[in-house]
A and B are shown apart, each in its own frame.
Chain A
Amino acid sequence: MTIKNAIEVSHLTKKFGQKLAVDDVSFNVRQGEVFGLLGPNGAGKTTTLRMLTTLLKADAGQVKIFGHDTVKEGRLARSLFGLTGQYAAVDEDISARQNLMIFARLNGLSRPDAKQRTTELLHEFSLENSADKALKDFSGGMRRRLDLAVSLITRPALIFLDEPTTGLDPRTRTQMWDTIRHLVQQGSTIVLTTQYLDEADQLADNLAIIDHGKLVKTGTPAELKQQIGGTRLNFTVDQSTQVGAAVKLVAAQVADAVQQTGQQLSVRLTQMAQAAPILTALNQAKITISQLAVQEPSLDDVFLNLTVGKN
């Protein structure tokens, strides 16, 4: 079987007044993958997601969900995905159980089915003990969990999550990551937005970096890191008189220029194996070093490199 695209986005554009919030964005999301939309505040992540989920009309461009045009076949497209927005979309005045029941009914489940699904989801998201309490007393984490539970009522094959872990404490965030991984294991396709690089790194199979409404880069986390970062070897030369000699020795071993800040040297390695001859050479020249570190590339480098200024 060939891998099909869950989503095909072409030339999506949205203007708010004079401001181009989303500027000619095109990408595909493959079935079964986690696709991350990464960008700083105001980059256009939510606007893009709102257009993908039919909440906002695009000024130009086309979105296909499992092959169905979201404009021409809106209702059908809507039945194929679940959405958890950036801000909790649950009713504050009523209980978690009532929320689930109502949304299950609105999704077209019969009353007994809705009841059963509600019980299942309350259990799955550990909300049984507060199922009948007013949502006003819920913590941010519980509200997020309920919000996600509501979007999973129909077990959609495609799930949109807008900043699913913003505002959660580290423990709750890890739980949310586990939940997302679990959904992927069950075969769901997930599109999530995030401002957190570690989150994108942890979860996403493919990433699109968006800034000022434009897609600036797409690829796997590894590819993006490779393009920008690469592994670096960092160390400090103990004696300032030896720095010059050290730079020369290291430069002889690698292709890239050696970066020098005071007595600190930093050099990009194409392979880890390059570290050994450098260290041996330094040792033979009786140059003592400290604070030796091999730095793996991080998405932070990618992010800071590609995104500029305020949105």
Chain B
Amino acid sequence: MDVQTHSGNLFMNTATMAYRNLLKTVHNPDRFMDVIIQPVMFMLMFGYLFGGAIAGGVQAYLPTIVPGILMQTMLSAASGSGAQIREDLDSGVFDRFKSLPMAHVAPLAGQLFADSLRLLMATVASLTTGYLMGWRPAVGFGWVVAIAGLAIVTGWALSWLFALLGLLAKSAGAVQSVSLMTMLVLSFMSNAFVPLKSLTKPLRFIAHLNPVTYVITAIRQILATGSWTHEALLVLAFDLLIVAIFAPLAVWAYDRN
């Protein structure tokens, strides 16, 4: 009569929860949009619409826009994390998770694990579109992988922040609008799409405060010089700091729920 079950295993449970999360991304048009459609669409739209006006041509604009769209995509994929967690917590499914003899933090860990894979998907979508439009960084493929890694680590660090937001918020709708606002402000008030020189003084001041500006600068520098710059290391250190602060906070907020 009994089915053999091994006791809850954090690693296995997390992998299963991440798998579930990714399945939901693939099956749910809204979530799929954030990760695949949006980067492709933005890359094409921005490239062909503004390329001429800003850089005198699409080809000349690509070194600016590819890192810019890449970071915007990371921000938007990361910002989905909070709304998804809230949605999950509010759904009946979560009651079932809680009533199972599984590792307690597996749903949160699974979400963050799936986030990292979603960020990878979004990165591949962005960079491939750039490549198809004619983007060919001179430093070679190895450094493209390096900047992809830097972008994903940064995106992942930010998804802890958004996860905390989702855990503390009252409703998924609220998280969604706050996340969208944050995403828009952080990506547009930066050097993602236009050179800082072209901005008015107050705007340039804000862009300089925006951490996204530093990440994009770091990526552009790596692609220009073919080496880890001071800026890139600073970004990595900043990412670590965010995770060190917000991961424990997120676990705390999760326990409280």
Query: Is there an interface contact between A78 and B99, defined as CB atoms closer than 8 Å?
Result: yes
Answer whether residue A196 sits at the interface, using C-beta atoms and an 8 A cutoff.
no
CB distance from B106 to the nearest CB of A (A): 8
Chain B residues in 8 Å Cβ range of A83: 95-96, 99
Q: State whether A93 and B101 are in contact (beta carbons under 8 Å apart), knowing that A85-B92, A87-B92, A107-B5 are contacts in the complex.
A: no
Listed residue (A55, A78, A90, A93) with the most chain B CB atoms within 10 angstroms of its CB: A93
Chain A count of residues within 8 A CB distance of the other chain? 36
CA distance in complex: A139, B172 (Å): 26
Quick one: CB contact mask for A135-167 with B, threshold 8 Å, 1 for yes? 000000000000000110111010000000000
Answer whether residue A286 sits at the interface, using C-beta atoms and an 8 A cutoff.
no
Chain B residues in 8 Å Cβ range of A54: 98-99
Interface hits, B99-153 → A, CB 8 Å: 99-102, 106
Answer whether residue B53 sits at the interface, using C-beta atoms and an 8 A cutoff.
no
Answer whether residue A281 sits at the interface, using C-beta atoms and an 8 A cutoff.
no
- Secondary structure class of chain A's binding surface, majority of residues: loop
Q: State whether A106 and B100 are in contact (beta carbons under 8 Å apart), knowing that A75-B8, A91-B24 are contacts in the complex.
A: yes
Answer whether residue B19 sits at the interface, using C-beta atoms and an 8 A cutoff.
yes
Answer whether residue A94 sits at the interface, using C-beta atoms and an 8 A cutoff.
yes
CB distance from A42 to the nearest CB of B (A): 19
CA distance in complex: A127, B172 (Å): 31
CB distance from A140 to the nearest CB of B (A): 14
Answer whether residue A277 sits at the interface, using C-beta atoms and an 8 A cutoff.
no
Query: Is there an interface contact between B13 and A106, defined as CB atoms closer than 8 Å?
Result: yes
Chain B residues in 8 Å Cβ range of A75: 7-8, 101
Chain B, residue nearest A90 (CB): B93
Quick one: CB contact mask for B8-25 with A, threshold 8 Å, 1 for yes? 110011001101100110
Answer whether residue A168 sits at the interface, using C-beta atoms and an 8 A cutoff.
no
Query: Is there an interface contact between B3 and A155, defined as CB atoms closer than 8 Å?
Result: yes
Chain B residues in 8 Å Cβ range of A102: 16, 19-20
Chain B residues in 8 Å Cβ range of A186: 1
Answer whether residue B4 sits at the interface, using C-beta atoms and an 8 A cutoff.
yes
Q: Which of B16, B23, B24, B28 sits near A106, CB closer than 8 Å?
A: B16
- Secondary structure class of chain B's binding surface, majority of residues: helix
Query: Is there an interface contact between A94 and B7, defined as CB atoms closer than 8 Å?
Result: no
Answer whether residue B97 sits at the interface, using C-beta atoms and an 8 A cutoff.
yes
Listed residue (B19, B94, B98) with the most chain A CB atoms within 10 angstroms of its CB: B98
Answer whether residue A294 sits at the interface, using C-beta atoms and an 8 A cutoff.
no
Query: Is there an interface contact between A53 and B99, defined as CB atoms closer than 8 Å?
Result: yes
Chain B, residue nearest A135 (CB): B27
Query: Is there an interface contact between A89 and B101, defined as CB atoms closer than 8 Å?
Result: no
Chain B, residue nearest A79 (CB): B101
Chain B residues in 8 Å Cβ range of A55: 95, 98-99
CA distance in complex: A81, B98 (Å): 13
Quick one: CB contact mask for A82-119 with B, threshold 8 Å, 1 for yes? 01010111110110001000110111110001000100
CA distance in complex: A250, B1 (Å): 58
Answer whether residue A187 sits at the interface, using C-beta atoms and an 8 A cutoff.
yes
CB distance from A147 to the nearest CB of B (A): 9
Answer whether residue B6 sits at the interface, using C-beta atoms and an 8 A cutoff.
yes
Answer whether residue A289 sits at the interface, using C-beta atoms and an 8 A cutoff.
no
Listed residue (A53, A87, A91) with the most chain B CB atoms within 10 angstroms of its CB: A91
Chain B residues in 8 Å Cβ range of A157: 1
CA distance in complex: A54, B104 (Å): 13
CA distance in complex: A310, B124 (Å): 59
Chain A residues in 8 Å Cβ range of B99: 53-55, 78, 81, 83
19 more contacts with CB within 8 A, not counting A88-B92, A155-B2, are: A55-B95, A75-B7, A76-B101, A85-B92, A85-B96, A89-B92, A89-B93, A90-B96, A93-B28, A98-B23, A106-B13, A106-B97, A106-B106, A107-B3, A108-B5, A108-B101, A109-B4, A117-B3, A154-B3
Taking beta carbons and an 8 Å cutoff, which residues of A are in contact with B? 53-55, 75-76, 78-79, 81, 83, 85, 87-91, 93-94, 98, 102-103, 105-109, 113, 117, 134, 150-151, 153-155, 157, 186-187
9 A-B pairs with the lowest CB-CB distances in the bound complex, closest first:
A108-B5, A79-B101, A89-B92, A89-B96, A105-B16, A78-B101, A93-B24, A87-B92, A93-B27
